[in-house]
Structures are given as structure tokens and as C-alpha cells.
Amino acid sequence: MTALEIHLAARPTGKPTLDNFALVEVAVPEPAPGQVLVRNHVMSVDPYMRGRMNDVKSYAPPFVLGAPLTGAAIGEVVKSTVDSLRPGDFVLHDFGWRDYAVVDARGAVKVDPDAAPLGAYLGVLGMTGLTAYVGLLDIAEFREGDTVFVSAAAGAVGAQVGQLAKLRGAKRVIGSAGSDDKVRYLLDELGFDAAFNYKSAPVAEQLAAAAPEGIDVYFDNVGGDHLEAAISAMNLNGRIAVCGMISIYNATEPTPAPRNLFQFIGKRLAMRGFLVFDHSARRSDFVREVGPWVRDGTLRYTETVVEGLRNAPTAFLDLLDGANTGKMLVTLV
């Protein structure tokens, strides 16, 4: 039997292209003792993967040239050497970008396909959802009555942050997005109080109009002009949670810092970056609070689904261009 894998063929300079990926046919591997063979059904593509395409030191090792990329995926166990996982079980693991994966049983998390759609375990109930939860509540120290601004608010994390803030008693929730359709989605479907298309006019002008009384929390997924605008709009003792800075991921030259950092002093601002991997202890709290909202439809989510492993590189490039609404997923089966 043979299977397909997506390998990193070359490291990109600036914006990646399809030439940076290679579709490779390989033999289906056999599991060793303590391992399971998983046939992947759905995988995630995420902005952080862009940084791992570079050969630089970071919080996660770079992808290896000539080897398959990695990332969160859900698959069905087809062969097992352990009693804890049997054929037919579905598991969450980190070996996406391939049809079949050999996974250490200790690194596979069993999921219930009848309790929620498989994609939900990669998004609203998975790492994406926990990122939104921890970032808003723990890092930004959200308080009832806060005015919250979320950049890339129609993305998987941003959409959940805005809804969590509303459910937790925010005074006002504002989002930015990259198209008029996404703005309507934020307002009409997710219940944001205000939203704007950052391509239509300067972010600082639109944010000032949307938040005439200022903002207390900024959840940053973009950086750049969004971060500078948020600093200017911040009220005293405002808090900024830095989740991502997608505006600079493809930069080939150093990007300028916000020109208004001096405002941190007079406004007594706080800004903190974070990685969700450091907050796994909060997962049970997250599932207990958010799970019921997902099940009864109180917290809504959208997925952009691309079919076929061959199309995973295109899905990833589209993600970097903001073509998705909600979580970007690739189905393999």
C-alpha cells in the first residue's frame, strides 16, 4: 500500500508559494510496539506554521526540509499495538499533512465522533478555542464591562474571542476583518457590536469611530497598524494579549515597531504574548464552560473546508491571505 504526504521542498523567502511544497508518495508505515497507525480524516492549517518554515530558532523547531510537515489532525486508528486504543477509535494527534501517520499511543488523544463533528476538536473545542479562552480571560484579564477590540475577528480564534467576551458581559465588542462580507458575518451572525473592514480606511480612524469611549482589552492577531491603533485607543490600565502578528509573517526586512509605545507609560498599559501550549491545565475549565455553549448553539462557529490532501498547500496559502472565515480545515477522507 502507498499513501501521500506533503513535504517541505524549499524554505520560502517572503510569501510562500506552491513550489515550497512537494507531494510525495510513500509506503504506508507499520506501527512499532507502543504505537498506532492512523488514517487521517481531517487536518488543520494554522498561521503559526509559516514561522516553522523558516530555519530559525523559535518556540517550536523548524520543519525539516524533505520531510512531511506536521500539524494537528484527527484520524481513525487502523492498526494498534496497545490495549488502550483499538481499530475504529478516533484520535487527535500532531501528524497531519499525510494520509497515514504512525503515532505514539501516549501522544494520541481519543475523541468521540458522536459527541461533536471531528473538525470541532481542531477548532472551537480544540487548540483554537482554548487559545481564545486563555488569551481573553487569563492573559488579557478580561473583566465584565470591558470594551474589547479583536483583530482578524472573523478568523477561528478571533471569532471565538469576541463571542466569549459578549457572553462574559463585555460592554462593547469590536472586530476588524478583511472584507465587507466578513464584517457582516461579525455583526449579523456573531453579535459583535461594531466591526470594520481594515482595507477600507486607516485602522486608527475606524477604530476611533467604533470605540468613542476607548477600549480596555485588545486581542492581537495581526500586529502592525492594528497594534498601533489599539495602543492609541486604549483606556487607562488597558491590557493587550498578543496571540499572533500575521501582518509580518512574510516580511523579509525588519518591520517598524508601533510609533506610540510611549503611551504605555502614561496609560499604565500591559502587553503580554502567550502560547496556548503553556496553559493545558485550563482545558478542563474551558470545556466545562464553553462546551455547553457550543452544543446549544449559543457560541457559533464557522469552518472553511478544503477537500483533499493535494490541496492542503493551497489551503495554507489561502489562510495566509485571509481567504478563510473561521477555522481552515482540510479533509482527507
Q: What is the DSSP string of 320-331?
A: HTT--SBEEEEE
Q: Give me the pLDDT at residue 254, please.
A: 84
Question: Of all residues in the chain, what percent carry a pLDDT higher than 90?
Answer: 95
Q: Give me the pLDDT at residue 288, please.
A: 94
Q: Give me the pLDDT at residue 1, please.
A: 86
Distance CA 143, CA 286 (A): 17
Distances (CA, A) of 61 to 40, 54, 127, 244: 23, 9, 19, 17
Whether the domain at 2-118+302-331 and the domain at 127-277 fall into the same CATH topology: no
Q: Give me the pLDDT at residue 251, please.
A: 85
pLDDT band of residue 59 (cuts 50, 70, 90) is confident
Give the architecture (CATH level 2) of 127-277: 3-Layer(aba) Sandwich (3.40)
* pTM of the model as a whole: 0.93
What class has domain 2-118+302-331?
A: alpha beta
Show me where the domains of the chain are located.
2-118+302-331, 127-277
Q: Give me the pLDDT at residue 147, please.
A: 98
Strand segments (E) across 211-287: 215-220, 234-242, 270-273
262: amino acid identity, one letter? F
Distance CA 52, CA 301 (A): 27
pLDDT band of residue 255 (cuts 50, 70, 90) is confident
pLDDT at 256 over 90: no
